Structure 1
């Protein structure tokens, strides 16, 4: 999925019908450019092959984000290489995971870690999710019982983060993260999972679920483009600020000593 240019619209544009969907967990996958364009604006490289799956690589080449709709079950794969004391990690998210929730994790990949210790459960508890122990597992469930986040221990001693949403009609998705996935990324994901604000989907792209509430809105294409561009502009500005800070940071290593007469020579 190579980069596509946003379409230009003339002054005679017509408003189009869209829907605000709540809860966001059942809004459907959405436009993958919500994720990919933000990463590209943050300096990530597009490694996708023409007409193939999406593949984005971080500037330091240690993390890859892929989306493949051409295989079953398909969806998102995020893989991080081992980094010093931190081991290799990965996350797998179903194709119906809303891009706004995926973006919680992938946006966090572009930002420096906070100095504060992350807590996956805090964003959920702030939105009145119910947390509890279930045997060896620790689980948080949304107020309506349709979405969950769980630190899961299996009988063989293996552990993982397991999350998802499912309605009474069987609609939904699941995702899992290896236990060594950086905690601030899992927290960023849980914050978007619990976010009570609705998300927008075009007409014809609404999941048929008894659990969702929708509001019809008329939106001009230029308005959609402006909202999308604002997100990209914010990513570019943050990237520029980080790069500028690095370039002006004072040197922390001493220069090698040389005699006033020039470079040292061997005897």
Structure 2
């Protein structure tokens, strides 16, 4: 249910000649994705990069001597990095909570500005983080799992490289190259995760703010990436509504359609950069 009726508030504020207003695009700034990576994911990558240097050095000395204790020494180094991560995880969770709060604050301010610009209505006293607490908690939990998964995957792949090397007596330089590639893959994956998580949380927050204002119609905004999903690109500019009474109606010369499945909405599929613009229908 809507928390407030933005259409009624807008009519009281201004005498509109148009029957519908498309709000401006709210595009999340890349710096928020960079900040998520730097504060919550990069420390994990750095931890395993540092551990990799130790593990590579131990492997190099081990492969020549191959004493009974040597594999256990390397296992100890890998376990030590995992234990360090467990201690670091507490700090990362706090940083993640702060990032989610700041992202919500940015989105809320952007939504308030878009509404004010389009209608003259200031929603400042009506909006707060408590309205979208469930969504914020969901993304905190999701990212804590992703952060832990980045560490777990790095540990597993580094361990696989080491013990495969020991079993096959592979040269230290070959194993070192594989270990460093694992760290590089962890870094690339983490950067992509941070960008994707920003798209997802900003899209969900935008949907929530639209629904609580009583707006059911929205416009698809394509990401215009170099290699977009073709069916997403084809939806650019289309109008959608979940309300059956609005579907089939004409708004600003376009027919309002039933939206696709929710997991194919803007920003929902993996690495989708599409967004939605809210539409205020005044008729």
Answer 1 or 2: which has greater strand percent: 1
- With structure 2 as the length reference, what TM-score do the two structures score? 0.23
Q: Return the structure number with greater relative CO, CA threshold 8 A, min gap 6.
A: 2
- With structure 1 as the length reference, what TM-score do the two structures score? 0.24
**Greater C-alpha radius of gyration:** 2
Answer 1 or 2: which has greater helix percent: 2
